[in-house]
Structure 1
């Protein structure tokens, strides 16, 4: 796995709109303090759905960028890491290998994978692609979030070192498939509902589906419409 690029961003309006977002991240060239809710100097515009303890740090694999460029062309957000709002960018680690509950050391901090990233409609504006959020969800090239188990200083170039795997069978790819592809596989949903290292919000998706036997409507999140 490659050395880690650290990225942060301030709130700014998205292209062609008056919508505020912290999705545009740029690399930093100095060590940063990683606190319980993220890196110093990093901002999120809508704290109801972004940031917080369970989504303190967003990791997006650099491995996906060539595939996106092949599919969409040389869009500006695909020119360098930071296009998807990631705080960490590496090569050699994707949703296929990473499992919820995995614990990594990064510099002086400890991180634990808490959930996959759920794309929202702001990606559509960021990329100028009307269905970008749906493309991210449907491909599973979504990245993931960490909770911070131990705060500390992190420097550009620090390497992620896996130190524990609490639920190695539950890769992010498996979770994605259960939530977005094979959506009413009851056995998988029961497993997700009981997965205590998974963020509570994602466990609730499984619990609600088991109770209602229905899949939730994603249109508001993906399209910005009710």
Structure 2
């Protein structure tokens, strides 16, 4: 069991920019409802790539914060949970031990790990480090998303309790390694394409690599789009 901090935030302008984001999240102080698309009061600005049923809740381990401080220096942003725009912050759970399809009880809600996180350029903007999104992607310290199997209510101090493991061999670290490091390992890609508890979008990426022999370009997510 892992005691959690739950964080939410509204869409707001990014400081010094005309862009908006929901990345600035803060701990809740009382019970909050959790539905199919996330926590009440939590928002995402760009619904094309954020939010939705397969990305209803973002979990980022506090275990990674000391590593980032060692690499980046004493950034004030890393002094408290929420630096990575996470909804759930815990210690004791990382990508090495959590697998796609894992089911957790949180308060009266039921969550299932759906995919890893693909970092976007807003992390670079938030940290004031031009290649921060790339660093997160390359490190494998990305965090992950949940789908909500059963809506409910979550309160500060609730614990995240593992209920079932559907595909324990498919850890998030293994998935990241196959998609970002050993990117044309056909055996791994075929396994990912057939992993029905993985978000459909990621299964399609794997299937396209098998069919085309090419790796898709995800770099555009790491750079801000030009103003409209």
TM-score, normalization by structure 2:
0.97
Q: Paired residue for 1:159?
A: 159
TM-score, normalization by structure 1:
0.98
**CA distances 1:75-121 after superposition (whole Å, capped 9, x unpaired):** 23211100101000000000000000000000000000000000001
RMSD value, Cα: 1.1
- 1:80 correspondence with 2:72: no
Q: Paired residue for 1:113?
A: 113
The CA deviation at 1:13 is: 1.7
- What are the within-5 Å matches in structure 2 for residues 124-139 of structure 1? 124-139=124-139
The CA deviation at 1:194 is: 0.2
Q: Contact 2:136/2:142 (CA < 8 Å) preserved in 1?
A: yes
The CA deviation at 1:219 is: 2.1
Q: Which runs of 5+ in 1 are unaligned?
A: none
- What are the within-5 Å matches in structure 2 for residues 1-226 of structure 1? 2-224=2-224
Q: Which runs of 5+ in 2 are unaligned?
A: none
Partner Cα separation in structure 1 for residue 189 and residue 143 of structure 2: 21
The 3-state SS of whatever aligns with 2:77 is helix
Q: How many residues align?
A: 226
Partner Cα separation in structure 2 for residue 184 and residue 84 of structure 1: 29
Partner Cα separation in structure 2 for residue 225 and residue 5 of structure 1: 32
Q: Report runs of 4+ in structure 1 exceeding 4 Å deviation.
A: none
The CA deviation at 1:225 is: 5.4
Partner Cα separation in structure 2 for residue 16 and residue 184 of structure 1: 40
The 3-state SS of whatever aligns with 1:113 is strand
